[in-house]
Amino acid sequence: MMRWFIFLLIGIPLISLMFVPIDGLFYRPEKWPKPIYNFRDNPLTFEGYTLGRTLFYDPILSKDSTISCSSCHLQFTAFAHVDHPTSHGINSRAGKRNAPGLMNLAWYPNFHWDGGVLSLNGQAINPLTHPDEMGETLEGVLVKLNRNEAYKSEFKKVFGTERITTSHLLKALAQFTVSLVSANSKYDSVMRKESSFNEQEQRGYSLFLKHCNQCHTAPLFTNFEFKANGIGPNALINDSGRRVITGKASDAYLFRIPTLRNIEYSFPYMHDGRITKLKDVIHHYANSSNWVYPISKELKLKNNSLSPEDQKDLIKFLKTLTDKEFLFNPSFGYRLK
C-alpha cells in the first residue's frame, strides 16, 4: 500500500511533467487538424530546436557571411520581410518574390508561392543556394560548419555523429521552423470562449466568413491552394507562378493563398509585395473594376459589395489575428551564445 502511495506521489508529477510543453517547441493547438510534417523522421528535441534557432540567426550560412535566414524573416513581423517587396540577398541582390511569413509550417502540404517544394526539410536548400539570396553551396556551408568546433559539438549532441551532413543541417533548421506555431491571437481566445469580439470585430468576422473564408480557411487561414487574385502579372518581374512548377498553361500567374494570421504585421502584401497597406488590399478585393486577368472563379463569383464601412469592419476583424505572444516570444528570437 505504502509502495503504491510513493509511486503515485512521485509518478504523477513526473508523468504530468512530460506533457508540459517546453516553451517554444512545437505543439498542436486544440481542434486543429493533424500536422502533415513527418515528426517521426525528425524527432523534436530541445537541443535540436535550439541548434536550428542558432543556425536561423547565423549569417555563416551565406556565401560571404552577411545574410542569415532572419535577414528576410524577422520575428516581429511574423517572420516576413517588412518594407521589402521582394527578398534581398548577398551583395544587395533582389529576389523575385515577397519573403512570406513563417508560421504553422507543420500543416503546409508544400512550400513557396508556387508550391514547388514538397518537404520542409528540403525547403532551406533554396534560400541557401539561390544566387539572389544566400548564394552559398551546400558543400560550402558544410565545410564552414564542420570547421566550427561549437557547431560540431552541438550537432553531435543532436544527431550523435562527428561529421555534419546535409540532412543534419536541414533537419536542425526544420526543428526550429516547424516549432513556429502561432495560435494565440484574440481570434483564438474568442474561439476558446475566453474572450469576445467587440461589435465591429463581430461584424468583420461575419463578413470574413461570407467573403474570405472559402480560400483563407480557418483555423490556418489558408486552404493552401493556388489562385489568381486579379492583381495581374508584374510587368517588371517575369514570374508565371505555379506554372513554373506544373508546366500547365492553366496554372499561369497562380500563386499560393497566403495565411492571414498576423497579417497586420506581415506587410507588404501579395506575392511580389506590391501592396503596402492592408486597407489597399481590402480595397482591391472589394472593387472588381480594379481586377486584371487572370481571375480565379472563387473571386469572380463574389458580388464584392463591400461598402467602405464593411471594409473597415473587416480590417478590425483581421487585426484580431495578430498573435503578440508569437511575435514577441523570446524563445523564437536571436539566441545569445
Residues found near another protein in the complex (CB under 8 A): 38, 41, 110, 112, 116-122, 125-126, 129, 138-139, 142, 165-167, 170, 244-247
Smallest gap from Cβ 251 to another protein, in A, equals: 12
Closest CB to another protein among residues 69, 278: 69
Closest CB to another protein among residues 65, 119: 119
Whether 18 and 169 have beta carbons less than 8 Å apart is answered as: no
Smallest gap from Cβ 125 to another protein, in A, equals: 4
Smallest gap from Cβ 118 to another protein, in A, equals: 4
- Can you list the pairs that 168-173 forms with residues at least 24 positions away whose Cβ atoms lie under 8 Å? 169/55, 169/124, 169/141, 169/142, 169/145, 170/121, 170/122, 170/124, 170/125, 171/42, 171/48, 171/121, 172/48, 172/51, 172/52, 172/55, 173/52, 173/55, 173/56, 173/69, 173/124
CA-closest candidate to residue 26, choices 170, 180, 173: 180
Smallest gap from Cβ 288 to another protein, in A, equals: 33
Helix (H, G, I), strand (E, B) or coil at 256: strand
Angstrom distance (rounded) from CA 170 to CA 303: 45
Smallest gap from Cβ 244 to another protein, in A, equals: 8
Buried-state track 67-81, b at ≥16 Cβ within 10 A, e below 16: bbbbbbbbbebbbbb
Closest CB to another protein among residues 99, 286: 99
Angstrom distance (rounded) from CA 193 to CA 278: 27
Taking the CA atoms of the chain, what radius of gyration do you get in angstroms? 22
Closest CB to another protein among residues 201, 272: 272
Closest CB to another protein among residues 125, 252: 125
Q: Which residues pair with 241 in a beta bridge?
A: 254
Smallest gap from Cβ 229 to another protein, in A, equals: 23
Whether 268 and 285 have beta carbons less than 8 Å apart is answered as: no
Smallest gap from Cβ 170 to another protein, in A, equals: 6
Closest CB to another protein among residues 121, 259: 121
Closest CB to another protein among residues 170, 183: 170
CB neighbours of residue 47 within 10 Å = 15
Angstrom distance (rounded) from CA 49 to CA 335: 11
Smallest gap from Cβ 149 to another protein, in A, equals: 22
C-alpha cell at 233: 502579372
Closest CB to another protein among residues 8, 118: 118
Angstrom distance (rounded) from CA 141 to CA 138: 5
